[in-house]
Structure 1
């Protein structure tokens, strides 16, 4: 009987990292992935080092340590191995775009995602990478409120889904992004259609965390469109239950509270909205800069509705400053225009 071949140490460390990530022990996953990258480099396997460093960056992203994810993604994007292999570069630039967006650096995020898409466009073998890059580009454009550009990119993304090469999970994530932009650009029927297609394709039994994030995002988009119907409330409740089931990062929990606060605001329960928004704004450093701006803007409007003018104007100005930091200047201008009507 043949003796089982002993696995290289970096492969063992990789398996441990992936198992920790699966259990949502992201600190352990980051450590094991870093160890795997170091061992791979010692073994002279540069490709394995690249993949382990990428895994470490993903674990940082999952953990919410976005600056650390950014630094690793930037290092990989500029590495000679990425320059020699466009698919690797596309992966690195896509992750770089996600990290930049998370830090509110939206124009740079759009630029990184555009670079990623250009590297694999037209290559059926790497259609998944192209789809991921398009999603990153659309998210950055939408968060910057460049909605016409974002919708144009959505149409390009949907054409990539019209092939047997794309699995259900990937298609679900793509329809999720397209639906977000549809809602933001007041294409409400299209938004509902795309999020329904996403819900049909994403498996709640396979990935409860993804199911939670989808429902949270769908609720946020519906609330942005001022939809306070039962479909929106179901999205919020499903997201809350799924988030409770899997646990979540501090950012996940704050974003979930923000969705519920927005629901309270739109349904006229200002006291409940303020009770949630004040602690969210106190911890705004955990959130993406754009989201922090939205939370401050909503708190300002809620306080105004209760007659607290001084504090409301302070919160509104803070929201506008957050949007400026995120280079979402149109959104910042909207807040200041709103303040002018109030004053």
Structure 2
């Protein structure tokens, strides 16, 4: 029990390396005592530490192990916890169809169970995120309506804030711009930098990303970017956090017409694509390719745009891949026309 408390305290302090090691020690002690349930809890904590420090592949391996374990099958809430973590890690690796399946399993385990409403909310969020990333936007919006129905007055502010954030994301992606802004405003009201600076950084970065995808290069978007950059600087952040922040800033420069700044920020990301999810790397390549194309660097930009389409295919984000290929076709047709072909 002492080893477990030490591990949880390290996790709360964001000392994920220490938390992982201490949770492993507690898990070993639990096995010695024949306590599979306590072992399961500590391995779950190890997986959460791996997720939070950006070790997504290792997190997936532990989450997959837990999801098929007998302890997970012993109660719906335990199974849901394992499958939610599995879904999040699969999404982080760009394995979107598998992430949808895992999140769907989690929602089915706890749907309609008031005692597990918080897990149902988390499962819906994981499902919506995976559906949206894979381009299944109508299905994602349908799940958003389910999620909204779970947000009663009994739900705490942080949980409600995260849920409104997810709903706003899908609203932006489905061109419901006013609704997207409304839900993100609700999220901003519920979330607080004084309670969790890291969450505040991730929310503002995510909100900026969605606004940029909706072609909103206004003052509200810039404020989101600046808040995210400041909060990320305060809390530190993993390498993935810093790369995603750079992508958002690069996208802002592209939309505001500062092509040189966009390219200077986005081009170095290509050497670190192994740290990012496939679909995130694909977005970076797509924006970089368009920026270089507009600079007149045709040959290299075409190569980078092909890279973007391939990365979207890898992530099973077929609609985004189609968007890239349509852009490529239009560019190549224009070039043939200008050449008299």
Which TM-score tier does this pair reach, normalised by the shorter chain?
over 0.9
Return the alpha-carbon distance in structure 2 between the equivalents of residues 245 and 318 of structure 1.
34
Query: How large is the RMSD of aligned CA atoms in angstroms?
Result: 0.9
1:184 aligns with 2:173: yes
Give how far 1:249 is off: 0.2
Partner of 2:27: 37
2:51 paired residue among 61, 66, 75: 61
Give how far 1:13 is off: 2.2
Partner of 1:4: none
Partner of 2:339: none
Return the alpha-carbon distance in structure 1 between the equivalents of residues 81 and 68 of structure 2.
12
**Mean CA deviation greater in 29-38 or 264-273:** 29-38
1:12 aligns with 2:22: no
Partner of 2:137: 147
Partner of 1:217: 206
Give how far 1:15 is off: 2.4
Return the alpha-carbon distance in structure 1 between the equivalents of residues 123 and 11 of structure 2.
23
1:172 paired residue among 152, 161, 176: 161
Return the alpha-carbon distance in structure 2 between the equivalents of residues 127 and 39 of structure 1.
32
Q: How does 1:234-313 map to 2 (within 5 A)?
A: 234-313=223-302
Return the alpha-carbon distance in structure 2 between the equivalents of residues 18 and 306 of structure 1.
51
Partner of 1:52: 42
Give how far 1:21 is off: 2.3
Consecutive unaligned residues in structure 1, runs of 5 or more: 1-10
2:148 paired residue among 158, 162, 182: 158
2:215 paired residue among 226, 229, 243: 226
Partner of 1:134: 124
Deviation above 3 Å: which 4+ runs of structure 1?
A: none
Partner of 1:25: 15
Return the alpha-carbon distance in structure 2 between the equivalents of residues 169 and 147 of structure 1.
25
Return the alpha-carbon distance in structure 2 between the equivalents of residues 50 and 165 of structure 1.
29
2:79 paired residue among 71, 76, 89: 89
SS at match of 1:283: helix
Give how far 1:164 is off: 3.0
Partner of 2:337: none
Return the alpha-carbon distance in structure 2 between the equivalents of residues 335 and 35 of structure 1.
48
Partner of 1:8: none
Return the alpha-carbon distance in structure 2 between the equivalents of residues 15 and 245 of structure 1.
27
Partner of 2:98: 108
Return the alpha-carbon distance in structure 2 between the equivalents of residues 226 and 282 of structure 1.
27
1:322 aligns with 2:311: yes
